[in-house]
Amino acid sequence: MEPTTLQDAIVYFSNPANCRNYVVVRRWPNGVTCPRCGSPKVSFSEKHNRWQCNVHHSLRQFTAKTGTIFEDSPLGLDKWLLAMWQVVNCKNGVSSYEIHRATGVTQKTAWFMNHRIRLALRMGSLAKMSGEVEVDETFIGGKARNMHIAQRKRRITGTGGKDKTAVVGFVERGGKVQSVVVENRKKKTLQEEVKKRVEAGSALYTDELLSYEGLEGQYAHQVINHALSYVEGRVHTNTLENFWSLLKRGLHGTYVSVEPFHLARYLDEQAFRYNNRREMNDGDRLDLAVRQIVGKRLTYAELTGKLELSGPS
């Protein structure tokens, strides 16, 4: 029986065969096929824990990790699946130090694992939102009062959100939330995102930010002025305010410091948990996450920016 609690997961995934089978049935629900040519004519070697494609081409051998976020990782699937369990089920996130202590890998390895798992949680292309849609923006960054004076002088060069990262969020009432890092809160930037993600004719609820002016022609746009009230009938952005609260609780309390370069993956992580918080148990969330591991690869060089810095060889 597959696990539904953390205790079950620890026992279940201690068996390597269980780990392999758990991944295989989700990656290849219709039977194992070669990840390089797609042929179903493959043979499995229990001794070497890998398959071989019977069609002649280069790189015929492959494992359950090939072509996934696990590719080229020397770690066993037992560690990967337990780390995924924690990431998808801990409401405020789980730090690399917690993964390090729980699985016995180094903190550096745990940090790399966490980012690869976040990549798997990223949503693919979604249909445009419709019905009633809330749109709101926030700034992500450290609070000046919590910084050492030397760090404050280096990082805080202006007021408001000048030295923070802007994020805009969208939520369809009764549906899913999406969030994206944006360059700024200017009219062109925000309205482009709205038109990209929200179907014309939808009811659009925003705050009084002037950047949203002019959307009335395409949407039933209504504004809530937070200087006067937070709710007027059905007009409010409280659903997104709740999401921002959960996001910042994780960023400030669990992760403490997040570089803007990595922020998009943290948004994907929180959105995954938020969108799947209802009608799913912990085992269901892991099941869904494992079904999303294929075709996503993040190398350490890409993660740390060294690939871009080094350039072509």
Averaged pLDDT for residues 242-269: 94
In the predicted model, is pLDDT for residue 312 greater than 60? Answer: no
In the predicted model, is pLDDT for residue 310 greater than 80? Answer: no
- CA pair distance 236, 232, nearest whole angstrom: 7
Q: Which of 16, 1, 59 is nearest to 24 (CA)?
A: 16
Q: For 112-129, how does the pLDDT look when each residue is reduced to its tens digit (9 = 90+)? A: 999 999 999 998 777 899
Q: Which comes out higher in pLDDT, residue 250 or 257?
A: 250
pLDDT cut 70: percent of the chain above it: 91
Whether 58 and 34 have beta carbons less than 8 Å apart is answered as: no
Averaged pLDDT for residues 156-169: 73
DSSP SS3 for 280: coil
Averaged pLDDT for residues 68-96: 97
Share of the chain residues as helix, strand and coil, in percent rounded to the nearest 5: 45, 15, 40
Q: For 46-68, how does the pLDDT look when each residue is reduced to its tens digit (9 = 90+)? A: 999 999 999 999 999 999 999 99
Residue 160: the pLDDT is: 53
Q: Would you place residue 311 in the very low, low, confident or very high pLDDT band (cuts 50, 70, 90)? A: very low
Q: Would you place residue 257 in the very low, low, confident or very high pLDDT band (cuts 50, 70, 90)? A: confident
Q: For 7-60, how does the pLDDT look when each residue is reduced to its tens digit (9 = 90+)? A: 999 999 999 999 999 999 999 999 999 999 999 999 999 999 999 999 999 999
Mean pLDDT value across the chain: 91
pLDDT-wise least confident of 56-70, 113-127, 147-161, 245-259: 147-161
Strands 50-53 and 42-45 turn out to be: antiparallel
Residue 308: the pLDDT is: 52
CA 147, 266, 119, 190 dihedral sign is: negative
Residue 197: the pLDDT is: 95
- CA pair distance 247, 185, nearest whole angstrom: 19
